[in-house]
Amino acid sequence: MVLDDCIWGFFWLHGYGKDFIVNRQDALLITRLVTYNQINLLRVINTGAADGAYNMALDEALLESVKKGGWATLRFYTFSSPAITIGYLQPIQDIDIKRCAVLGIDILRRLTGGRAVVHDGDLTYSLTIPVGHPIFGGTSLETYKKVSLAFSIGLKNLGVRARFVKTSNKFSGKNPSCFSSASRYELQVRGRKILGSAQRREKGFILQQGTIPINPHRVVNFFDNRESTTLSEILEQSIRVEEIVDALLCGIKVMGTKIVVGELTGKEEKYADEVRNKYLSKDWIFSKKTLDKSKFFEYI
């Protein structure tokens, strides 16, 4: 009997190869076992650099995948060219569109909430999980707290001592930048923000996206980000993305999650290719978005 990739992934994790043969009755029993054990598995993917539209499309693909029973996934990625992502509900008027056009900076609207992020010399992550995930699931604040705890442990391995923000800081409504202030359970170093995150919750599933600045922006700053810092500034030296990812994964493991280093599936890649143009369309970027309570969505 042919078993799907998730089930074979379980056996691969436990030392079996694809030549392992089972009959139908055993396969059904195995499926129940894998379903139970897969709850605590987290597929980790580092997709490297890509353009902003594809990165946003791929996060949507991973959310759709986990909703259909696919892997809970932690993805790390970077942007191949400078871009600004804005929150799902954020007004486009917050952004200097003409300036972006002159400098060749893409403007993208995320699925998640929050405020604008300049992606230029940073490491971005996305986490797509069921709300019931035993390690990172729970309420909005619980997921923020657990992810930040894991990442703070990882950053400590780099010599970066990051602390929780216990209460959201006051910020000026005139500053549309995510990194102009810190929200509860985001991370700061010496009072300056080093991790910003945002969520979308959809019918029992979570997409959380977040960013860790590595280097100062190569483009002229769009926002007053004096309340934030970068890893290279803290460490007083440059650091490779791979080193950061390895350190963060150490923190993820400490939380008790079983990690499977994996790759995108063909279906996920196909879905991302199909919806990529949506993130380039003016209808998506410029239209005013509203909270759709009828679909039980949250944009945080």
Q: 286: closest CA among 156, 91, 75, 119?
A: 91
Determine how many CB atoms are found less than 10 A away from the CB of residue 228.
22
Q: The tokens of 257 are what? A: 């999650």
**In a shared domain, residues 3 and 101:** no
Determine how many CB atoms are found less than 10 A away from the CB of residue 224.
13
Global pTM value: 0.83
Residue 249 lies in a domain: yes
Given this model, what pLDDT does residue 18 score? Answer: 46
What DSSP designation does 287 have?
S
What is the three-state SS of 40-77? CEEEEEEEEEECHHHHHHHHHHHHHHHHCCCCCEEEEE
**In a shared domain, residues 51 and 26:** no
Residue 144 lies in a domain: yes
Residue whose entry in the numeric block shows the structure tokens 């657990």:
146
**In a shared domain, residues 23 and 126:** no
CA–CA distance, 141 with 263 (Å, rounded to integer): 29
**In a shared domain, residues 34 and 100:** no
Residue 290 lies in a domain: no
CA–CA distance, 296 with 251 (Å, rounded to integer): 31
Question: Which CATH number does the domain housing residue 185 bear?
Answer: 3.30.930.10
> What are the residues whose beta carbons fall under 8 Å from the beta carbon of 250, sequence distance 6 or more?
153, 154, 157
**In a shared domain, residues 135 and 110:** yes
Whether the Cβ atoms of residue 189 and residue 160 lie closer than 8 Å to each other: yes
Residue 252 lies in a domain: yes
Q: Give the long-range contacts of residues 225-229, CB within 8 A, separation 24 or more.
A: 225/177, 225/179, 225/180, 227/169, 227/179, 227/180, 227/181, 227/182, 227/192, 227/193, 228/179, 228/180, 228/192, 228/193, 228/194, 228/196, 229/189, 229/190, 229/192, 229/193, 229/194
Given this model, what pLDDT does residue 227 score? Answer: 82
Residues in the chain: 300
**In a shared domain, residues 61 and 17:** no
The predicted-structure confidence for 119-153, as pLDDT tens digits, reads as follows 998 999 999 999 999 999 999 999 999 999 999 99
Residue 291 lies in a domain: no
CA–CA distance, 117 with 125 (Å, rounded to integer): 13
**In a shared domain, residues 139 and 231:** yes
Whether the Cβ atoms of residue 84 and residue 222 lie closer than 8 Å to each other: yes
Whether the Cβ atoms of residue 89 and residue 264 lie closer than 8 Å to each other: no
**In a shared domain, residues 63 and 33:** no
Residue whose entry in the numeric block shows the structure tokens 């929050």:
114
Residue 204 lies in a domain: yes
**In a shared domain, residues 11 and 85:** no
**In a shared domain, residues 15 and 82:** no
Residue 298 lies in a domain: no
What DSSP designation does 121 have?
S
The whole domain housing 81 covers 43-285
Given this model, what pLDDT does residue 25 score? Answer: 58
pLDDT tens, per residue, the chain with 300 residues: 334 444 444 444 444 444 444 455 555 555 554 454 456 789 999 999 999 999 999 999 999 999 999 999 999 999 999 999 999 999 999 998 998 898 889 999 999 999 999 999 899 999 999 999 999 999 999 999 999 999 999 999 999 999 988 776 555 456 787 877 788 889 999 999 999 999 999 989 999 999 999 998 766 566 767 788 999 999 999 999 999 999 999 999 999 888 999 999 999 999 999 999 999 999 999 987 665 544 445 555
In which element (H, E) is residue 155 found? helix 140-156
Residue 293 lies in a domain: no
Q: Which residues are catalytic?
A: 178
| Domain count across the chain | 2
CA–CA distance, 145 with 136 (Å, rounded to integer): 9
**In a shared domain, residues 29 and 67:** no
**In a shared domain, residues 28 and 144:** no
